[in-house]
């Protein structure tokens, strides 16, 4: 299993970060991609990836922090971080019109600028979208994001939007919400092919059942795998094989591991 979206740099893991990673490795998580949300967390993601051969980093500025993005100086600053050999993607970037912590115009500008950085460096994208699917998709189209591809993380939408994403060459990733009753995620996961789906935790958030309400961590990804196996009517081993291969391919993890 590969946890394609974790925030192990967050404070919630300060007391026991090393133990949490060790438990995940013991439970069969082979790789964790730690995702940056601002410059500081992107730097911390790289430090985790330097420390653990099983951790890789994504670097980027989350739409919540888009109001801090400086279009003149920050693209070069991000590009410098992203050339680190342990960085496998630009993210998480995108649009969040639910929380609206940053004005929409700032969000669009930061998103577009960061897609340009990804295209310069030929790195895939980790895209965050909440209540902004059409605007997110328009930005991807306008910025020719298909050249680098990537994943729409924690995909929330309807099956048609799932198909639209897949047709554009992007993958979907699913997490703990897949296990919640009254979530629309199972319908999307059922609709799109298994080889277009990745697994993620988005820990410390979105803890899968039966641990909802507690802190999420990468070892709990097995509950997402189990639910996806049930939805797809395949074995958990098959979900593991197909989603791991898709994650290795989109983030080019095999190249990165032989680099070392």
Stretch that binds Zn ion, among 20-28, 73-81, 199-207, 252-260 (CB under 5 A): 199-207
Question: What strands, in cross-sheet order, belong to the sheet with 170-174?
Answer: 2-6, 31-35, 55-59, 87-96, 125-130, 150-152, 170-174, 197-199
Contacts 24+ apart (CB under 8 A), 154-158: 154/5, 154/128, 154/200, 154/202, 154/206, 155/185, 155/188, 156/129, 156/130, 156/184, 156/185, 157/133, 157/184, 157/188, 158/184, 158/187, 158/188
Stretch that binds Zn ion, among 104-112, 121-129, 161-169, 193-201 (CB under 5 A): 121-129
Question: Count residues contacting Zn ion (CB under 5 A)?
Answer: 3
Closest by alpha carbon to 88, among 18, 154, 35, 152?
Answer: 35
* Minimum distance from residue 76 beta carbon to Zn ion (Å): 24
Q: Is 87 helix (H, G, I), strand (E, B) or coil?
A: strand
* Minimum distance from residue 92 beta carbon to Zn ion (Å): 5
Under rule CB under 5 A, residue 177 binds Zn ion? no
* Minimum distance from residue 7 beta carbon to Zn ion (Å): 6
Closer CB to Zn ion, 99 or 144, in the complex: 99
* Minimum distance from residue 132 beta carbon to Zn ion (Å): 12
Under rule CB under 5 A, residue 128 binds Zn ion? yes
Closer CB to Zn ion, 128 or 217, in the complex: 128
Q: Tell me the C-alpha distance between 210 and 215, whole Å.
A: 12
Closer CB to Zn ion, 120 or 247, in the complex: 247
Closer CB to Zn ion, 104 or 241, in the complex: 104
Stretch that binds Zn ion, among 139-147, 168-176, 198-206, 234-242 (CB under 5 A): 198-206
* Minimum distance from residue 49 beta carbon to Zn ion (Å): 16
Q: Restricting to residues 8-67, which ones interact with Zn ion according to CB under 5 A?
A: none
Closest by alpha carbon to 97, among 87, 108, 89, 88?
Answer: 108
Closest by alpha carbon to 131, among 87, 105, 154, 99?
Answer: 99
Site string for Zn ion, 80-109 (x = CB under 5 A): ------------x-----------------
Q: Which helix (H) or strand (E) holds 128?
A: strand 125-130
Interacting residue ranges for Zn ion, rule: CB under 5 A:
92, 128, 202
């Amino acid at each position: 299993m590969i946890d394609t979206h974790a925030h192990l740099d967050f404070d919630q893991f300060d007391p026991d970060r090393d133990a949490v990673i060790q438990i995940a490795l013991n439970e069969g998580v082979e790789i964790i991609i730690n995702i940056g949300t601002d410059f500081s967390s992107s730097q911390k993601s790289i430090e985790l990836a330097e420390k653990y051969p099983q951790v890789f980093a994504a670097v980027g500025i989350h739409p919540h922090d888009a109001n801090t993005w400086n279009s003149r100086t920050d693209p070069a600053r991000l590009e410098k971080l992203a050339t680190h050999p342990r960085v496998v993607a630009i993210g998480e970037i995108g649009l969040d019109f639910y929380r609206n912590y940053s004005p929409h115009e700032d969000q669009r500008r930061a998103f577009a600028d960061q897609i340009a950085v990804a295209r310069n460096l030929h790195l895939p994208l980790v895209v965050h979208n909440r209540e902004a699917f059409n605007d997110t998709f328009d930005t991807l189209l306008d910025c020719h994001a298909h050249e680098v591809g990537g994943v729409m993380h924690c995909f929330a939408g309807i099956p048609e939007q799932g198909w639209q994403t897949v047709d554009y060459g992007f993958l979907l990733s699913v997490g703990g919400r897949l296990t919640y009753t009254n979530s629309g995620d199972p319908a999307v996961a059922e609709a799109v092919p298994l080889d277009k789906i990745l697994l993620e935790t988005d820990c410390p958030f979105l803890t899968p059942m039966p641990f909802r309400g507690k802190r999420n961590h990468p070892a709990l990804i097995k509950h997402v795998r189990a639910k996806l196996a049930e939805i797809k009517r395949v074995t958990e081993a098959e979900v593991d094989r197909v989603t791991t291969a898709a994650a290795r391919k989109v983030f080019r993890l095999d190249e990165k591991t032989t680099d070392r």
